Amino acid sequence: MARRRNDTARVLGPYRYRNRYRIIHVKRGGTRDTYVVETKEEARRVAKTLQVECDRPLTTIFEALKGYLAYMRDDKGNKATSVEQTRLKMSRFFPNLYLPLCDLDHATAAGYYAALRTSKVRGKGHGDRVVSVDYHRNMLSEVRTFLTWCVKKQLLATNPLAGVEGVGRRRHGKEQLRIDEARKWLAKATEHADRGTPGAIAAMMTLLMGMRCIEIISRVVRDLDDDGRLLWIPDSKTTKGRRTLVIPDQLQSYLRQLVAGRAATDKIFGDHDRDWVRHWVQRLCREAGVPVVTAHGQRGLHATLAVEAGVTSRAVADALGHESFKTTTQSYAQPGGVGLAQQTRVLTVLQGGKEPGKIAST
């Protein structure tokens, strides 16, 4: 006779056992709990309670994640792009979204993180590379937050990632171009912009305005104000991120041409994800023959030049949309720039000028 599958929860008994009564709770995976009670009536009540637990539909990671994303969207008010990014990260962390939450123990969750640390992402034209420390540690933090929510919703008894520490040292700040290199980069970007290439214009905004990639691709026509002199950012991941930026002269005509004759709610650059801006920043680096840096690196160079130009720390942090200047100095502005306030180098330096130019301000 074939044995019953060990992935089926069930209740055995009650059985008479030494003048008392025994009930056996067979859990998924085959583990068993045994209960011994004094009377047959009490045994029947225990067996009935355990059977209800066995018959309860199992909540999978997928089902829990669906509820969590709805919570992010409806209760926390996260933007659709943020919710989608969380969904993608969770899908990558959990190799099997249909695993029952009750089977997600500490060893399994720790194993998922170990696998993530050695996984690879596809580079654009440069082969695959192992994920960065920042990437896997940030994902660990987000998944831990999701599982904490599951505990609050009583979908889990404890957080399986509790006690799992992030491995490796984070990198604060990204590599930045030198001034001469930035001039070459900007010259190449201008060549493309003169031909009306939207990607080059978007990439220029990371350096000349210190904008985040997501802020650039999210802008709509009505955000361009005062005949192309101001750019409104009414939505951001932080309160300080909601700001109005002064658009440098050399960008104004490009942006006016992009929005000419279009509806107020049209996106200035069309439908793209943040990687589109990153791709253009790096493409221009290669075409200009300078070290390939990230969009964050260009944003950091903007902060470095602003600090060196003598702009106050609070003004630089506000322009970048940071809650604290500590973030600016830790991850964006080069340390040496903070002590060089007497040197007047800002955006016009990139054009070879000698006088300080205007930077984006609130």
Look at residue 321 and tell me whether its pLDDT is greater than 60. no
Residue 3: which residues within 8 A CB-CB, separation 6 or more?
none
Q: Tell me how far apart the alpha carbons of residues 305 and 320 are, in angstroms, rounded to a whole number.
A: 13
Q: Tell me how far apart the alpha carbons of residues 83 and 307 are, in angstroms, rounded to a whole number.
A: 34
- Level-2 CATH architecture, domain 179-351: Orthogonal Bundle (1.10)
Q: Where are the domains of the chain?
A: 10-55, 61-152, 179-351
Q: Tell me how far apart the alpha carbons of residues 21 and 291 are, in angstroms, rounded to a whole number.
A: 76
Alpha helices in 56-170 (DSSP H): 61-74, 80-93, 106-117, 133-152
User: What predicted TM-score, i.e. pTM, was given to this entire model?
Assistant: 0.56
The answer to whether 313 and 328 are in contact (CB under 8 A) is yes
Q: Which of 45-54, 91-100, 212-221 has the lowest mean pLDDT?
A: 45-54
Q: What is the pLDDT of residues 131-178, one digit of tens each?
A: 888 889 989 999 999 999 998 988 877 899 998 999 887 665 568 888
Q: What is the pLDDT of residues 192-202, one digit of tens each?
A: 999 999 999 99
Strand ranges (DSSP E) for the chain? 10-17, 20-26, 32-37, 120-122, 128-130, 224-225, 230-233, 243-246
